[in-house]
Amino acid sequence: MASKQGVKSRRFGFNSSKTCNSPSSKSPSSPSSSSKIVPFDAQRAKENVTVTVRFRPLNQREIQQGEEIAWYADGETVVRNENNPSVAYAYDRVFGPTTTTRHVYDVAAQHVVSGAMEGINGTIFAYGVTSSGKTHTMHGDQRSPGIIPLAVKDAFSIIQETPNREFLLRLSYFEIYNEVVNDLLNPEGQNLRVRQHTQGTFIEGIKEEVVLSPAHALSLIAAGEEHRHVGSTNFNLLSSRSHTIFTLTIESSPRGKNSEGEAVTLSQLNLIDLAGSESSKAATTGMRRREGSYINKSLLTLATVISKLTEEKPSHIPYRDSKLTRLLQSSLSGHGRVSLICPVTPSSSSTEETHNTLKFAHRAKHIEIQAAQNKIIDERSLIKKYQQEIQCLREELEQLKRGNVTVQSKDTEEDNIGLLKQKLEDGQVRLQSRLEQEEEAKAALLGRIQRLTKLILISTKTSNSTTFPNRPSFRRSHSFGEKELAYLPYKRGDFILDDENIDLYANLEGNYVTADDSFKEDENAKKYGLLNWLKSRTSIKSVDHIYLLREEHKILSGEVVLHSSTLKMLSEETARNPQNDQIHVEIKRLKDEIKAKSEQIGLLEKQISRSLTASVNMDRSGVSQVKSADKGIIQEKLKQKICECESLQETITTLKQQLADAMESINFSNVVNHSQHLSLTKDYSSELYLDKGNANFTNGGTVLQAKISEIEQLKQKVAELTESKEQLELRNQKLAEENSYAKGLASASVVELKALSKEFAKLIDYNQRLAAELAATKNLTTQRRSSGSVQNARRESHARLKRNDQAGSNSDIKRELALSKDQLYQKEIEIQRKMLTMKLKCRV
Ligand SMILES: Nc1ncnc2c1ncn2[C@@H]1O[C@H](COP(=O)(O)OP(=O)(O)OP(=O)(O)O)[C@@H](O)[C@H]1O
């Protein structure tokens, strides 16, 4: 495979000696070379897609499964196979597992971003298998912000460093999920159509937001991420199931009075986080498999498009085979800078997948691009539109200012002194009120100018230079830290925004304007959790909305006031000059405008009241939710405390009881000790008595002695009683045992009795049958004797034999009968005996 790549490289005129600075790298043209590194031309690299490979460290799963390193970074530009060192590929740069995303940005993305700020389209995309680290590289996390936040930060930093130009930034963010385009900034923008325009492909109805600061842009992305399709797979807990494209549209124009008519540069910076290709090992089912097949299909189309683009005379390039390639057509076909970052895993379990990524990356390296600045002077330029509107408003304001003077001088010219005096007297109050109205209108116009100006971003620095500053390719010092660029809290971890220092931008007058304070509120809110942050975000949003509506209302009211005052002027003029048709036409136009604007004002008032109600409801519901949640928690805590109190009280009672017992026993033992002591010292006491005559002490000892003997007696009694109680209990137990034994015996006897009765009945029956048989035999003998004596000798002898048999049988029967009777008798005796025993036992 490597040799095949080597052939291709030669066709593109690559020179290995220039690029492969790794000591082990050799020219692929050398047939004897054991190491075939597929190189590229460093000179041409400037015109080619920048291709970098980023290794991630082995993850926990791979370590646990004992995976080994299959691919590794050999120096700064070569990726080599561990098992087959002859397989190696060279790229613009290869980053090892410890490289930071900031470094990746500086090498692989910064030039694309600065190009986009100068009007050259730029595309940066991450391509790789699932779980290789694409999202980690493009989005990152709090500790390590990805390419997207770093690019956004850099864009604003460039604005700050370019005081001679004005910028307008817009962003859109969408995903391609199962070949369906969904707007991530607008949940209602689902299944949007991709349309072709003479100037390129675009998405119909996609929402674009003008962004004012990095935090503003990042909060929009974070909000968009909420809607992105993410799911867990065998390989990645948070696997991207869609390709996402973040587009920053940059317009810029020279700043200053002489800039009129100068072209505006318009460019797009696309930052793409592709979904990862999935191997058959993924073993997915259902929805995941469906997603996987869409992902693989679109990535295959991307690979085919790239492969075709590297052909010398490419035939049909299948851009239209997938939405992804359709949307990337303009970038891939060489109209801007492209940077391809390929995150890979070194793990041996993904050797083949990583190899495919490396081959894809190597092919992409051969795409040639001709990056050029886009200059436009047409309606697409929003910055021009805003600038023109600002200009018109400024002129209107100027006219308004001049109008006062003109009216006054005209009046003085036309009226004679008498009339002028009269008019001055009559109209003094009127003029005063008109001046006030005009002041209001001016304020409204100024407000609008300021709002529009806010959208156009300019540096706070002053400079006479008219070109873009030369930006060093190495890392610049930024005016704001990494922390604030991390994303807002979302599925991928807790992120924090810190907007300090970042949101300084200036209005046209050159005064610094601090960014929306709401972002600072955000930070405070975020410190207290996501819920609070979201609440504050929502309320800030609604407050902003109401503010804007009110502003709009003010502007319209100002305009109505202005029109009304002009109308008055014209009406006066008509009175003086009724023939002037032009004035009539103007009056009509003004009336229509006033009517239309009044209607708009009416609508705005309704909107404001609706928004106010909604915001109040939202606050209330938020507060009530929080209150009910708090109440629940408090009640829970209260219950816990009550339980704790109860158990403590129980413990106290037990302890009190124990204390009382202990005190009692202490008293008792004291008494015993004391008495023992006394008894021991009795003789000595007697001696004392004798010696000292201490009668009281002796008496006390005697009383105690009596008490002790009483206690002893009681103790003995208690012991006796306990003993007899124990004996009684033992007896009781024995009796209970005997009782249960007797009961068991009785029930057994009943059963036995039943069996015996049955047997007895059987024997009686048998006996009766035997008796009947005996009687029948006797009868037969008698009958034969009486039936005649004339029998022949043979028959007689035969009959004799038979009789003998019968006699034998009769005697057998008799014997059996006697035996049976005997058995019966025995059984009867046994039954009677058993019954007697049973009765006796039952009685016991
Ligand atoms: N360079 C790296 N350093 C440390 N951890 C990394 C690195 N790259 C990726 N990871 C970690 O690996 C895991 C997978 O990474 P990530 O989600 O970025 O993969 P992916 O390629 O976007 O996957 P998918 O295509 O499934 O969305 C994450 O937990 C991520 O934090």
The DSSP string of 665-718 is: HHHHHHHHHHHHHHHHTHHHHHHHHHHH--HHHHHHHHHHHHHHHHHHHHHHHH
Q: Is 133 in the pocket of ligand 1 (CB under 6 A)?
A: yes
* 127, 120 Cβ separation under 8 angstroms: no
Gap from CA of 238 to ligand 1 centroid (Å) = 9
**What are the E-state strand segments in 420-499?**
457-458
Q: What is the pLDDT of residue 565?
A: 73
Looking at the predicted structure, is the pLDDT value of residue 826 above 50? Answer: yes
Gap from CA of 59 to ligand 1 centroid (Å) = 9
Total of domains in the chain:
2
The answer to whether the Cα torsion of 628, 634, 639, 642 is positive or negative is: negative
Of all residues in the chain, the percent with pLDDT exceeding 70 is 57
- Ligand 1 atom index nearest CA of 230: 27
> Using CA atoms, how far apart are residues 61 and 783, in angstroms rounded to an integer?
111
- Size (the chain), residues: 844
Residue 706 placed within a domain: yes
Looking at the predicted structure, is the pLDDT value of residue 567 above 70? Answer: yes
> Using CA atoms, how far apart are residues 162 and 577, in angstroms rounded to an integer?
56
Looking at the predicted structure, is the pLDDT value of residue 302 above 60? Answer: yes
146-155, 174-183, 639-648: lowest mean pLDDT where?
A: 639-648
Tell which of 376, 396, 419 closes a domain. Answer: 376
Q: Is 110 in the pocket of ligand 1 (CB under 6 A)?
A: no
> Using CA atoms, how far apart are residues 39 and 78, in angstroms rounded to an integer?
9
> Using CA atoms, how far apart are residues 95 and 343, in angstroms rounded to an integer?
9
pLDDT band at 533 (very low <50, low <70, confident <90, very high): very low
Q: What is the pLDDT of residues 192-235, one digit of tens each?
A: 999 887 767 889 999 999 988 888 898 898 888 888 887 666 66
Q: Is 284 in the pocket of ligand 1 (CB under 6 A)?
A: no
Residue identifier of the C-alpha nearest atom 23 of ligand 1:
131
Q: Is 27 in the pocket of ligand 1 (CB under 6 A)?
A: no
Q: What is the DSSP letter of 469?
A: P
Q: What is the pLDDT of residue 697?
A: 43
Place of tokens 């709090």: 142
Residue identifier of the C-alpha nearest atom 31 of ligand 1:
136
Residue identifier of the C-alpha nearest atom 8 of ligand 1:
133
* Mean pLDDT in residue range 23-37: 33
- Stated as kind and residue range, the H or E segment containing 504 is strand 504-506
Nearest 10 degrees: CA dihedral of 800, 801, 805, 810?
A: 10
Q: What burial class does residue 669 get, using C-beta atoms within 10 Å of its C-beta: 0-12 exposed, 13-18 middle, 19+ buried?
A: exposed
> Using CA atoms, how far apart are residues 66 and 347, in angstroms rounded to an integer?
10
Looking at the predicted structure, is the pLDDT value of residue 102 above 60? Answer: yes
Tell whether residue 421 is among the known ligand binding residues: no
> Using CA atoms, how far apart are residues 251 and 300, in angstroms rounded to an integer?
34
Residue 748 placed within a domain: yes
80-89, 131-140, 157-166, 380-389: lowest mean pLDDT where?
A: 380-389
* 360, 127 Cβ separation under 8 angstroms: yes
Q: Which residue has the higher pLDDT, 478 or 638?
A: 638
Q: What is the pLDDT of residue 32?
A: 30
* Mean pLDDT in residue range 765-770: 81
> Using CA atoms, how far apart are residues 246 and 602, in angstroms rounded to an integer?
39
Tell which of 342, 376, 410 closes a domain. Answer: 376
Strands 512-514 and 209-211 come out as unpaired
Looking at the predicted structure, is the pLDDT value of residue 151 above 90? Answer: yes
pLDDT band at 460 (very low <50, low <70, confident <90, very high): low
Q: What burial class does residue 337 get, using C-beta atoms within 10 Å of its C-beta: 0-12 exposed, 13-18 middle, 19+ buried?
A: buried
Q: What is the pLDDT of residue 341?
A: 96
Q: Which residue has the higher pLDDT, 669 or 95?
A: 95
Q: What is the pLDDT of residue 618?
A: 57
Tell whether residue 128 is among the known ligand binding residues: yes
Q: What is the pLDDT of residue 798?
A: 57
Q: Is 231 in the pocket of ligand 1 (CB under 6 A)?
A: no
Residue 613 placed within a domain: no
Q: What is the pLDDT of residue 824?
A: 74
175-179, 331-335, 768-772: lowest mean pLDDT where?
A: 331-335
Q: Is 140 in the pocket of ligand 1 (CB under 6 A)?
A: no
Q: What is the pLDDT of residue 703?
A: 62
Q: What is the pLDDT of residue 775?
A: 84
For a mutational test of ligand 1's pocket, the pick from 99, 148, 228, 236, i.e. the residue with the most ligand atoms closer than 8 A to its C-beta, is 236
Residue 333 placed within a domain: yes
For a mutational test of ligand 1's pocket, the pick from 61, 135, 354, i.e. the residue with the most ligand atoms closer than 8 A to its C-beta, is 135
Gap from CA of 497 to ligand 1 centroid (Å) = 22
Q: What is the pLDDT of residue 635?
A: 64
Tell whether residue 781 is among the known ligand binding residues: no
Half-sphere exposure of 261 (CA within 13 A, CB side): 1
Q: What is the pLDDT of residue 346?
A: 94
Tell which of 352, 376, 400 closes a domain. Answer: 376
Q: Which amino acid is at 126?
A: A
pLDDT band at 500 (very low <50, low <70, confident <90, very high): very low
Residue 153 placed within a domain: yes
Strands 50-55 and 93-95 come out as parallel
Mean of per-residue pLDDT scores for the chain: 70
Looking at the predicted structure, is the pLDDT value of residue 62 above 80? Answer: yes
Domain assignment of residue 89, given as a range: 46-376
Residues 6+ away with beta carbon under 8 Å from 492: 135, 139, 141, 238
Residue 579 placed within a domain: no
Q: Which residue has the higher pLDDT, 573 or 370?
A: 573
Q: What is the pLDDT of residue 101?
A: 96
Place of tokens 């019968």: 806
Closest to 708 (Cα-Cα) out of 677, 685, 683: 677
The secondary structure of 185-235 as a DSSP string is S-TT--SBPEEEETTEEEETT---EEE-SHHHHHHHHHHHHTTS-EE--SS
Q: Is 162 in the pocket of ligand 1 (CB under 6 A)?
A: no
Q: What is the pLDDT of residue 427?
A: 65
Strands 93-95 and 87-90 come out as unpaired
Which range scores top for mean pLDDT: 376-385, 778-787, 810-819? 810-819
Q: What burial class does residue 409 get, using C-beta atoms within 10 Å of its C-beta: 0-12 exposed, 13-18 middle, 19+ buried?
A: exposed
Residue identifier of the C-alpha nearest atom 15 of ligand 1:
133
Which range scores top for mean pLDDT: 341-345, 470-474, 680-684, 755-759? 341-345
* Mean pLDDT in residue range 83-94: 93
pLDDT band at 146 (very low <50, low <70, confident <90, very high): very high
Looking at the predicted structure, is the pLDDT value of residue 87 above 50? Answer: yes
Gap from CA of 308 to ligand 1 centroid (Å) = 30
Q: What is the pLDDT of residue 764?
A: 80
Q: What is the pLDDT of residue 603?
A: 86
pLDDT band at 365 (very low <50, low <70, confident <90, very high): confident
* 266, 380 Cβ separation under 8 angstroms: yes
- Stated as kind and residue range, the H or E segment containing 363 is helix 351-364
Residue 355 placed within a domain: yes
> Using CA atoms, how far apart are residues 294 and 306, in angstroms rounded to an integer?
18
* Mean pLDDT in residue range 675-703: 45
- Stated as kind and residue range, the H or E segment containing 250 is strand 243-254
Q: Which residue has the higher pLDDT, 551 or 20?
A: 551
* Mean pLDDT in residue range 74-79: 93
Gap from CA of 584 to ligand 1 centroid (Å) = 72
Looking at the predicted structure, is the pLDDT value of residue 578 above 70? Answer: yes
Which range scores top for mean pLDDT: 494-498, 792-796, 821-825? 821-825
Q: What is the pLDDT of residue 192?
A: 94
> 727 by DSSP, 3-state: which?
helix
Q: What is the pLDDT of residue 545?
A: 64
* Mean pLDDT in residue range 248-277: 82
Q: What is the pLDDT of residue 606?
A: 84
4-8, 216-220, 355-359: lowest mean pLDDT where?
A: 4-8
Q: Which amino acid is at 29?
A: S
Residue 31 placed within a domain: no
Q: What is the pLDDT of residue 89?
A: 94
The secondary structure of 112-150 as a DSSP string is HHHHHHTTB-EEEEE--BTTSSHHHHHTB-SSSB-HHHH
Q: What is the pLDDT of residue 704?
A: 66
Measured in whole angstroms, the distance separating CA 207 from the mean position of its chain's CA atoms is 25
Closest to 108 (Cα-Cα) out of 119, 100, 98: 100
5-19, 485-499, 604-618: lowest mean pLDDT where?
A: 5-19
User: What CATH number has the domain bearing residue 288?
Assistant: 3.40.850.10
Looking at the predicted structure, is the pLDDT value of residue 686 above 70? Answer: no
Nearest 10 degrees: CA dihedral of 430, 431, 436, 442?
A: 130
Looking at the predicted structure, is the pLDDT value of residue 270 above 80? Answer: yes
Half-sphere exposure of 292 (CA within 13 A, CB side): 21
Q: What is the pLDDT of residue 657?
A: 77
Q: What is the pLDDT of residue 480?
A: 33
Q: What is the pLDDT of residues 407-429, one digit of tens each?
A: 444 555 555 666 666 666 666 66
